[in-house]
Amino acid sequence: MARKKREEEHENHERWLVSYADFITLLFAFFVIMYAISVVNVGKFKVASESIVSSFKNSLISTPLPATQSKHVVIDEVAIKPVIKPSLISNKTSETRGAPEEAQGQSSQDAEQRKSMQAVTADLLKAMEQSLKDGQVRVTETDRGISIDINASSLFDLGSASLRPEAVGRLMEVARVLSKSPRQIEVEGHTDDLQINSLIYPSNWELSTARASSVVRQFAIGGVAPTRMVAVGYAENRPVVSNDTPEGRARNRRVTVMVLKQDRDQPTAQLAPASSSTAVSNAAAPSATAAVPAISLQTTSAAAPR
């Protein structure tokens, strides 16, 4: 029987497609993974990191060392957890505790200040009881402190900065109260809008400053520390009512004694803004100097008619 002739196998020239398909598949998988890790999900990342940490916990990792020695490095749980310095904790704790203590101290100081100012107000009302009944004095509490408005007609004659004899006793009673308080005092002189033009007082600036200085000088005689006082003249620039009537002008002619809320070691209260000229003089000086250049006032001069 004749042997069946074996067919000759042909060489397959397309076997490279299998390797190419595998390469394309791996490349596709690589780009999918790269895209997936480019968008980080915090929750999933935390879970993954925790699982990695737990899997490597208490495991041995061989690390290359110099050729002279070979050791195993152990990664413990302590090396993975973040380290918090005790000093940072103590600082944060002290800051947290310090804030309420500071606020409590500030509120305590405010309460003491209010109590002190109320006591001064009560003493002033008692000392000037008769003047309050006569309507010559008004006592009010403002944001700056205690304001005592004294009608100028009860202290001075028209166009004069010399205190009347009966006004000296009243001011001494006020000085007796103010000498017991450590608060700073600002005495303000005010006039109406009728201009004065005399040899002694060329304008209302000089007159208002001289009147404020006279009151300050009397307070210093009554025992108030001169370093706590300042005299300010505003002329007619700060009226409380309109100057259109004689009653309004009489109301605007006044001396205001401000008992400030500031402590003794703090700077004196702010004076008038720069837009309005303000005359200032020290309480300890025997004369008042107006804020007008090259003009000096003598508060002991004779009265000038208005």
Give CA separation, 260 vs 73, 148, 227, 270, in Å.
73, 11, 14, 11
Structure tokens that stand for 288 in this block: 């008042």
* pLDDT in the model for residue 28: 93
- One-letter identity of residue 118: Q
In three-state form (DSSP H/G/I as H, E/B as E, the rest C), the secondary structure along 49-82 is HHHHHHHHCCCEEECCCCCCCCCEEECCHHHHCC
This prediction has a pTM of 0.53
Please work out, in degrees rounded to the nearest 5, the angle formed at the alpha carbon of residue 203 by the alpha carbons of 292 and 229. Answer: 60
Contact indicator for 290, 205 with CB cutoff of 8 Å = yes
Single-letter code of the amino acid located at 221: I
CATH of domain 107-282: 3.30.1330.60
The whole-angstrom separation of Cα 114 and Cα 4 is: 126
pLDDT tens, residue order, the chain (306 aa): 566 666 666 677 777 888 899 999 999 999 999 887 776 677 777 887 888 888 777 554 444 545 444 444 444 444 445 555 555 555 555 555 555 666 666 777 778 888 888 888 888 888 888 888 888 899 998 888 999 999 999 999 988 999 999 999 999 999 999 998 888 999 999 999 999 988 899 999 999 999 999 999 999 999 999 999 999 999 999 999 999 999 999 999 999 999 998 654 554 444 444 333 333 333 333 333 333 333 333 333 333 334
